[in-house]
Amino acid sequence: MKLQFVYSHRDFVTDVHWSSRSSFGMTLMTEGFDGIIQVGWRERMEKGLFRYHLGDLQTRNLPGPCGYVAQLNIQRGIERRKPQEILSIQQEFNAKQFNFNKINPDEIIFEMIKDTEGSNEGEQLQQACRMVVLVNVSPLEFGHCLFVPDPSLCLPQVLTKFATKTGIESVLLSSNPGFRVGFNSLGAFASVNHLHLHGYYLDHELKIESRPVKLLVPEKGFYRLLDFPGGFLFYADSECVDKVAKSICQVTDFLVMRNIAHNLFFTRGCPPCDHIQTEEDRLSRKGVRIAVWPRVSSFGTKEESAFNVALCELAGHLPFKNKNDYELSTEKDVIDIIQRYLLSDAEFNMLEHQLTVDLGS
């Protein structure tokens, strides 16, 4: 019988903040949500279930206003599973290809179950889907795991409200501001067409957690990121997860219907505003920022030699594949690579207008 983690709204951690230094300091946990991930992940690393042993990664901050966090992870670039051939954002699930029903059962850490006591019938039905958490055998950082909604449903890699809600709730369950969750659509470097999200710990603050934003649709909490790779932002505290998840899926469904690839990144962050008031506000992490980046689809294109542009790279975390690029790349070099995968200004502005109308209607 697999280990189960049963949680409720009462387990969300709201008193979270970064210290005044840039690094949180990885305190290994043995209890709660963080404990069950960290202990289970380390046990499976010691059992040799991973494609390589992940030690302390060389890390440096690239000079410049973007605050990029660069890490050298050569083994992931070499050993990770070859991505499946993807031809469309809407590609159907194919049981003949690799999927999470074919993994070694020992890779499963636990199942997440939301306690729905006191919820209405509709909410109980929504939560009936189980979330399986397993290790990513080609980890990019400590605790790298995958969140897979009931694998037996054989869902393609298209976000659902349940998956989005659980992604937000996972960040709220963690007491570590360095725990992040992300999603790559097909055509945005998702390597497996079986619905899953990534979760991992990064012991460094990212600029996206506190960047200013522009409000677009107040009633939906829909924002545009400013001074960052062209994308949108939502914000969820413990009281509005369901509402925000619904709005996020309205955006991602819009993108899927138009065959537009996209990446999402869920991280602790300050409440959205057009500027940060105080240092205390900048370090506050009571809620979750969810960034959504529409981007140029990558179907069968040659991978970048330095790093692929997916969920973590767009957020400012750069796992480099080779030592030369890791040591020599500048902020300008990184921006030049990322820009090749973003929509043009004209395309993004048109999409922003369409989404603003769609969400506001």
CB 288 within 8 A of CB 266: yes
Q: What is the pLDDT of residues 43-85, one digit of tens each?
A: 999 999 999 999 899 999 999 999 999 999 998 877 676 777 7
Q: What is the pLDDT of residues 318-355, one digit of tens each?
A: 999 999 999 999 999 999 999 999 999 999 999 999 99
Measured distance CA(225)–CA(245) in Å, rounded: 18
- The confidence score (pLDDT) of residue 275 equals 63
Residues 6+ apart with CB under 8 A from 353: none
Question: How far apart, in Å, are the Cα atoms of 48 and each of 55, 72, 138, 145?
Answer: 13, 21, 12, 15
- When pLDDT is averaged across residues 241-251 and rounded to a whole number, the result is 97
Measured distance CA(182)–CA(146) in Å, rounded: 10
Whether 275 is a known active-site residue: answer no
For residue 191, what are its two tokens?
Answer: 């390597």
36: nearest Cα among 108, 138, 128, 106: 108
Where does the pLDDT of residue 141 fall: very low under 50, low under 70, confident under 90, or very high at 90 and above? very high
180: nearest Cα among 159, 205, 152: 205
Supply the mean pLDDT for the chain: 90
Q: Which of 9, 53, 194, 196 is catalytic?
A: 196
For residue 183, what are its two tokens?
Answer: 């999603």
Q: What is the pLDDT of residues 148-205, one digit of tens each?
A: 999 999 999 999 999 999 999 999 999 999 999 999 999 999 999 999 999 999 999 9
* SS3 category, 250: helix
- The confidence score (pLDDT) of residue 76 equals 85
* Superfamily classification of domain 28-360: ATP adenylyltransferase (3.30.428.70)
- The confidence score (pLDDT) of residue 259 equals 94
- The confidence score (pLDDT) of residue 30 equals 72
For residue 146, what are the β-bridge partners? 134, 198
**Hey, what amino acid is at 201?**
Y
318: nearest Cα among 335, 300, 340, 297: 335
- Per-residue pLDDT for 357 more than 70? yes
Measured distance CA(313)–CA(159) in Å, rounded: 20
Measured distance CA(297)–CA(301) in Å, rounded: 9
- The confidence score (pLDDT) of residue 280 equals 75
Where does the pLDDT of residue 228 fall: very low under 50, low under 70, confident under 90, or very high at 90 and above? confident
Where does the pLDDT of residue 282 fall: very low under 50, low under 70, confident under 90, or very high at 90 and above? confident
- The confidence score (pLDDT) of residue 62 equals 97
Measured distance CA(6)–CA(114) in Å, rounded: 6
CB 263 within 8 A of CB 315: no
Measured distance CA(158)–CA(92) in Å, rounded: 10
Strands (E), the chain: 4-7, 59-61, 69-72, 108-114, 131-135, 145-149, 179-184, 197-201, 213-217, 222-225, 232-236, 261-269, 287-295, 317-320
Lowest mean pLDDT among 72-81, 124-133, 300-309: 124-133
